[in-house]
Structure 1
Amino acid sequence: MAVPATTGQLRERVEDMEIGDYIVWKYDSTITGYIFGGSTSGYTEIAVTGHPLGSMPAKYFWYGIKVDKGLLISDRIVSHTVTWDWLNTNKFVEGFPLTISGISGAVRSLSGGVLYADANGNKSNADLGYGAFPSMNEWDKYIIKFPFNKISTGNTLDDVFHYLTNYTWCRETPIYGTWKDSAGNTSSSASSSHRIGRGSNTRTQWSDLNYAGSSNSSATWGFRPVFEYKEV
């Protein structure tokens, strides 16, 4: 099993989790939908590159990692070939209210920024290696800046979040206009029909900011679920 390479513990209950801990996150279409914890017997583990949306198993699992108070992020893309439009129609962009294993919250997408950032956190139309604007987007805050001391020895950030081979659909529409790559070359021009994706890069502590049409369906673009809940 592709267990997240964190120094945290595998927990059975969300209520017992601390930052860096992880929990089995299951989906059973034959019974109750999402479930936290419990046995994985009879469930198919989703590959770290995701599974095609159109042929998801009836019962499958992956892991959720606690990154902040009241916030779990999937350790991988769960479904790929899913469009941003499908996620939005089914309320998985801004948040679908759900109670999972007695915990009330919402399943949604990550925020990922709207443009590149410069060294001061301001907007830049070129990739300067400082992440995305605004700098408090969840991809940079929780994935790229996941505490180094919570990654197991001998492993990398990709062994925790499995992001290097695919893009994660994020919530935002990019700022319109011409974008440039890290060499300063004109890359392409964003429009109102595009949506942000993060991931798919070989650099250790930085992951690419990109965009695609909201109706784009690709095996390298997918849904990474977030569970946001009120922690008492």
Structure 2
Amino acid sequence: MTAPATTGQLREKLFEMEIGDYIVWKYDNTTSGYIFGGSTTGYTEIPLTGNPLASMSLKYFWYAIKVDKGLLIADRVVSNTTTWDWLNSNKFVEGSPRIISETSGVVRCPSGGVAYADASGNKSNADLGFGAFPPINEWDKYIIKFPTNKIVTGENLDGVFHHLNNYTWCKETPIYGTWKDSAGNTTTSASSSQRIGRGSNTRAQWSDINYAASSGSYATWGFRPVFEYKEV
């Protein structure tokens, strides 16, 4: 099993988890849907780059990492070739209400920003190496800035979130207009029919912002579920 390379512990219950800990996240469409913890016997592990939605098995698993109070993020893209429009129509963009292992919350996409950010955190149409605008987005806050002291020695961030070989669909629509790369070269113009994706090894760590048609089905784009719940 490909457990995330975090120094946190594998937990069985949500209430036991601290930031950096991880838990098995299972899906069983023959019974109760999502499940946290328990044995993975009889379940198929999702590849680190996800599975095509149409080829999902009946019972599969991955891991979720606790990144903040009441917030877990999957350690990988779970389903690739999934369109943003499909996620939206099934309420996975803003949040699909679920009760998972007796805990109420929502399963949704992470936030990833709408444009590049400059050194002051203001929006920019050019890649200046400061991540996305607004700077308080979940991708930069929880994935890119995941504490280095919580990564296993000899490993790197990709060993935790497996984000370098694919893009993760995020909630947002990019700001319309022309975008430029880090060299100042003009790239394509973003439009209202496109949505933000974060990740991929084709870009530097801080410059992993991209966008694609919301209706597009791509092997390198997919759904990385977030579970947001009220933690007492």
Q: Which amino acid aligns with 1:139?
A: W
Give the superposition deviation at 1:55. Answer: 1.0
Identity, in percent, stands at 78
**Distance in 1 between the 2:164 and 2:79 partners?**
16
- In structure 1, the residue matched to 2:146 is 146
Q: Which amino acid aligns with 1:94?
A: E
TM-score by length of structure 1 reads 0.98
Q: Which amino acid aligns with 1:117?
A: A
Give the superposition deviation at 1:37. Answer: 0.2
Secondary structure at the counterpart of residue 15 of structure 2: helix
**Distance in 2 between the 1:206 and 1:31 partners?**
41
- In structure 2, the residue matched to 1:188 is 188
Would the aligned equivalents of 2:82 and 2:218 in 1 still touch at CA under 8 Å? Answer: yes
**Distance in 2 between the 1:201 and 1:218 partners?**
16
- In structure 1, the residue matched to 2:7 is 7
Secondary structure at the counterpart of residue 86 of structure 1: helix
Would the aligned equivalents of 1:66 and 1:73 in 2 still touch at CA under 8 Å? Answer: yes
**Distance in 1 between the 2:2 and 2:139 partners?**
21
- In structure 2, the residue matched to 1:136 is 136
- In structure 2, the residue matched to 1:105 is 105
Aligned-residue CA RMSD (Å): 0.9
- In structure 1, the residue matched to 2:45 is 45
Would the aligned equivalents of 2:130 and 2:207 in 1 still touch at CA under 8 Å? Answer: no
Q: Deviations over 1:46-86 (max 9, x none)?
A: 00000000110100000000000000000000000000000
Q: Which amino acid aligns with 1:41?
A: T
Secondary structure at the counterpart of residue 54 of structure 2: helix
More divergent stretch after superposition (203-212 vs 42-51): 203-212
**Distance in 1 between the 2:184 and 2:166 partners?**
24
Would the aligned equivalents of 2:42 and 2:59 in 1 still touch at CA under 8 Å? Answer: yes
Secondary structure at the counterpart of residue 158 of structure 1: helix
1:218 aligns with 2:186: no
Secondary structure at the counterpart of residue 206 of structure 1: coil
Would the aligned equivalents of 1:23 and 1:65 in 2 still touch at CA under 8 Å? Answer: yes
Secondary structure at the counterpart of residue 30 of structure 2: coil
TM-score by length of structure 2 reads 0.98
**Distance in 1 between the 2:221 and 2:204 partners?**
20
For structure 2, the 5+ residue unaligned runs are none
Q: Deviations over 1:85-128 (max 9, x none)?
A: 00000000000000000010000000000000011101110111
**Distance in 2 between the 1:202 and 1:130 partners?**
17
Q: Which amino acid aligns with 1:219?
A: A
- In structure 2, the residue matched to 1:178 is 178
**Distance in 2 between the 1:81 and 1:184 partners?**
31
Give the superposition deviation at 1:2. Answer: 1.1
**Distance in 2 between the 1:123 and 1:52 partners?**
34
Give the superposition deviation at 1:207. Answer: 4.8
Aligned length: 232
Q: Which amino acid aligns with 1:55?
A: S
Superposed counterparts of 1:13-92, under 5 Å = 13-92=13-92
Would the aligned equivalents of 2:13 and 2:37 in 1 still touch at CA under 8 Å? Answer: yes
Would the aligned equivalents of 2:80 and 2:221 in 1 still touch at CA under 8 Å? Answer: yes
Structure 1 segments of 4 or more deviating over 3 A? 202-205
**Distance in 2 between the 1:51 and 1:12 partners?**
25
Give the superposition deviation at 1:203. Answer: 6.3
Q: Which amino acid aligns with 2:213?
A: G
For structure 1, the 5+ residue unaligned runs are none
